[in-house]
Copies of this chain bind each other. A is one copy, B any other.
């Protein structure tokens, strides 16, 4: 059975020594986030993840969810108690506003806690995670009345939330959606239609489930400009806040999936269900996009989370499994064979995972801090610049962290050899669970298109230029430092590749948009490598400055940074070459040739 230890120390090092959390004291909520409070919160979250959620991970995979004859859904044994603990600890609302019962702490802390919970039990952590997403959408767009009615219970975890976008014939292209909303005399709407792939759509963890549903109001324009967002509770909520009758919402069936068996993935039927409009009519996609940005960051975190827990278990196995002898001479003479960690190729896999995990954690934290600034700063320019960063980096984090998270789960499984293919060891579950993160919340191909088609050119390329300026200035400032050269020199080369690729799109994709689509996926990964490379420079700089206590850990950071520069960053050249080859050979064949 896999084990897990939450990387609390690494998170604290990043928060304190790399990103200087203490410099954000002017933001609301950050003053409360003193170093000792932050550490206490993270250690408490680690305990819950390690002791309660980890042991339930395989239980959830084996048992899955059950759809009962009365339409209810039973979650795996133990999930109910665990959810009670999450609720009692106030974990759903640690970053929610105090006025709705939250603790108002930085959203950055929520992302770190979510990494721990997802490592421990991805399927389980989606129940609170989706609730957080629904809270974010209601906070941003709902009327004061709706907020007052739903948010306190959701923040407290008494009720959970969902997102209802996909229909059988449309996922990516929401303009095709058919779910119908008919306005009633009392201002509410009757919602009818079928939604699929609804995570946590029905379960036994909470008294009510608050569905956010995209639907088309009768008479609204066709396509994506006629879509509105509604809140549709499973059980009607009376004016005094108590629960009333069942609404016209039911779970039609559960999907049989490759993984995340512990999460209920539902076909949801809306049959003249009563709902209330969130935000303006026909502006539902905009409202949903707010929720999706947060959710996409959260899915990127899932990629990191699975990579981390898979790495930890692979490292333990590599130190225990005795097989063969080191090619440079016997290392453990007292044993019948050396542990496989002596083999360079096993090391290569372990270092690959680690070099990703530690930089990806930094990238998430950097971006989560920007999200806090974007939501909480009183300085408009600061907010705008932070928002630019969020918009630009969100598709990169979602796409790259989930692709690499899956790849690393596969690498970790490989270290187990045949034992990795056997269910009992749990490594194959990580692979199956990690796979969904590349698909949902916008398949990664869509993230790449979002990046190239929308984000890099927005506002005259303002966000992209700011990113180039920051990384470029950092390289310049540090290039005279001999100790930083092994890190900033290769980063400079790869930043150059990213700039050339961006320029290539400007010159070649206006007239021929297929050139943008053909290079978008490589561009997303090229961008991700540069961003991770920048994180490694920042980490190395901080690690260099530390000594004494924990010197071994800081030295490990420097070695891992070098590994990243030598082994992973050079891939940017291949990405650039593919981008510059353009769309011709992709698009030449007629459709029927496939």
Q: Which A residues fall within an 8 A CB radius of B?
A: 166, 169-173, 175-176, 196-197, 255-259, 315, 318-319, 322-324, 327-328, 336-337, 339, 341-351, 354, 406, 410, 413-414, 417-418, 420-424, 428, 431-432, 435-436, 438-440, 443-445, 448-449, 453, 512-514, 516-518, 520-521, 552, 556, 559-560, 562-563, 566-567, 570-571, 573-574, 577-578, 581, 583, 585-589, 591-594
A432 x B587 contact (CB < 8 A): no
Closest 5 pairs (CB-CB, A-B)? A344-B517, A566-B581, A258-B428, A563-B585, A344-B518
A345 x B518 contact (CB < 8 A): yes
Query: How many copies of this chain?
Result: 2
Q: In whole Å, how far is A523's beta carbon from the nearest beta carbon of chain B? A: 11
Complexed CA–CA distance, A381 and B261 (Å) = 58
A445 x B514 contact (CB < 8 A): no
Q: In whole Å, how far is A177's beta carbon from the nearest beta carbon of chain B? A: 11
B443 x A417 contact (CB < 8 A): yes
A440 x B418 contact (CB < 8 A): yes
From A196, A424, A439, name the one whose CB has the most chain B CB atoms within 10 angstroms.
A439
Complexed CA–CA distance, A347 and B348 (Å) = 32
Q: In whole Å, how far is A165's beta carbon from the nearest beta carbon of chain B? A: 10
From A196, A318, A421, A589, name the one whose CB has the most chain B CB atoms within 10 angstroms.
A421
From A406, A445, A449, A586, name the one whose CB has the most chain B CB atoms within 10 angstroms.
A586
Q: In whole Å, how far is A586's beta carbon from the nearest beta carbon of chain B? A: 4
Extra contacts besides A559-B585, A563-B585 (16): CB < 8 Å: A172-B417, A173-B324, A173-B337, A176-B336, A256-B423, A257-B428, A258-B423, A315-B594, A328-B514, A339-B591, A345-B521, A347-B587, A349-B445, A351-B585, A351-B586, A571-B574
B431 x A435 contact (CB < 8 A): yes
Q: In whole Å, how far is A580's beta carbon from the nearest beta carbon of chain B? A: 9
Q: In whole Å, how far is A427's beta carbon from the nearest beta carbon of chain B? A: 9
A421 x B439 contact (CB < 8 A): yes
Complexed CA–CA distance, A443 and B415 (Å) = 9
Residues of B within 8 A of A342 (CB): 591
A319-B594, A337-B176, A418-B197 known; A586-B439 Cβ under 8 A: no
